[in-house]
Structure 1
Amino acid sequence: MKCLRPIGVALGCSMLASGAMAQLSITPPAQTPAAKKEAPKEAPKPKVHSPVAKKAAPKPAAMPTPSPSPSPTTAFEDPNVDLVYGAYQRGMYKTAFELASTRAQYNNDPKAMTMLGELYANGLGIKRDYAKAVQWYQRAADAGDREGMFALAMLKIAGRGGPVNKDEAVKLLASSAKLGEPKAAYNLALLYLDGQTLPQDVKRSAELLRMAADAGNPEAQYALATFYKEGTGVPKDVEKAVRLLQAASLADNVDAEVEYAIALFNGTGTPRNQPAAVALLRKAARQNSAIAQNRLARVLATGQGAPVDKIEALKWHIVAKTAGKGDLALDEMFADMSPADRAEGEDAARKWIGSNVK
Structure 2
Amino acid sequence: MLRRAALLLALLAAPGAAPARADGPAPDLAFGAYQRGYYQTAFAEAMKRLDKDKSDAAAMTLVAELEAQGLGVKQNMPEALRWYRLAAAQGDKNAQFALALAKLAGKEGPKDVAGARDLLEKAAARNHAGAWMQLGILALEGNGVASDFAKAAENFRRAADLADPEAAYSLGLLYREGRGVEKDPQQAAYWLKRAAEGGFLAAQVEYGILLFNGDGIPADESGGAKWLVRAANRDNPVAQNRLSRLLFFGRGVKQDRVEAAKWNILAASAGLRDPRLDGESNKLTPQERARVEKSLRDYLGK
User: TM-score, normalising length from structure 1?
Assistant: 0.77
Match status 1:210 vs 2:160: no
1:268-283 alignment to 2 at 5 Å?
268-283=215-230
1:228-307 alignment to 2 at 5 Å?
228-307=175-254
Match status 1:183 vs 2:101: no
> Do the aligned residues in 1 keep the contact of 2:7 with 2:94 (CA within 8 Å)?
no
Q: What displacement does 1:34 show?
A: 1.8
Match status 1:101 vs 2:97: no
Q: Which whole-Å deviations, capped at 9, do the CAs of 1:49-97 have from their partners, x for residues lacking one?
A: xxxxxxxxxxxxxxxxxxxxxxxxxxxxx5x742221111011111111
Q: Which whole-Å deviations, capped at 9, do the CAs of 1:302-327 have from their partners, x for residues lacking one?
A: 01111111111000001001111111
> Do the aligned residues in 2 keep the contact of 1:137 with 1:149 (CA within 8 Å)?
yes
Q: Which whole-Å deviations, capped at 9, do the CAs of 1:260-296 have from their partners, x for residues lacking one?
A: 1111111222222222221211110010110100010
Match status 1:137 vs 2:137: no
**Which residue number corresponds to residue 343 of structure 1?**
290
Q: What displacement does 1:340 show?
A: 2.3
Q: What displacement does 1:335 show?
A: 2.7
2:143 counterpart SS class: coil
Selected match of 1:326 from 273, 277, 282: 273
Q: What displacement does 1:334 show?
A: 2.4
CA distance in 1 between partners of 2:80 and 2:95 (Å): 10
Match status 1:110 vs 2:57: yes
> Do the aligned residues in 2 keep the contact of 1:133 with 1:161 (CA within 8 Å)?
no
> Do the aligned residues in 2 keep the contact of 1:129 with 1:161 (CA within 8 Å)?
no
> Do the aligned residues in 1 keep the contact of 2:166 with 2:200 (CA within 8 Å)?
yes
Specify every segment of 5 or more residues in structure 1 that has no aligned partner in the other structure, as ranges.
10-21, 37-77
CA distance in 1 between partners of 2:286 and 2:33 (Å): 55
Letter in 2 for 1:296: L
How many residues of Structure 1 are paired with residues of Structure 2 in the alignment? 298
> Do the aligned residues in 1 keep the contact of 2:17 with 2:31 (CA within 8 Å)?
no
> Do the aligned residues in 2 keep the contact of 1:28 with 1:85 (CA within 8 Å)?
no
> Do the aligned residues in 2 keep the contact of 1:6 with 1:190 (CA within 8 Å)?
no
Moved over 4 A (4+): none
CA distance in 1 between partners of 2:20 and 2:108 (Å): 32
> Do the aligned residues in 1 keep the contact of 2:129 with 2:162 (CA within 8 Å)?
yes
Change (3 A) 1:90 1:197: farther
Specify every segment of 5 or more residues in structure 2 that has no aligned partner in the other structure, as ranges.
none
2:8 counterpart SS class: coil
Q: What displacement does 1:99 show?
A: 1.6
Match status 1:7 vs 2:39: no
Selected match of 2:31 from 85, 89, 103: 85
Q: What displacement does 1:163 show?
A: 4.5
Change (3 A) 1:119 1:106: same
1:58-69 alignment to 2 at 5 Å?
none
Match status 1:24 vs 2:8: yes
Match status 1:169 vs 2:165: no
CA distance in 2 between partners of 1:122 and 1:105 (Å): 22
Letter in 2 for 1:267: G
Selected match of 2:19 from 27, 34, 38: 34
Q: What displacement does 1:122 show?
A: 0.6
Moved more, 110-119 or 274-283: 274-283
Q: What displacement does 1:167 show?
A: 2.5
1:336 counterpart SS class: coil
CA distance in 1 between partners of 2:19 and 2:193 (Å): 31
**Which residue number corresponds to residue 128 of structure 1?**
75
What is the aligned-residue identity percentage?
39
**Structure richer in helix, relative to its length:** 2
Q: What displacement does 1:33 show?
A: 4.7
**1 or 2 for the larger relative contact order (CA 8 Å, sep ≥6)?**
1
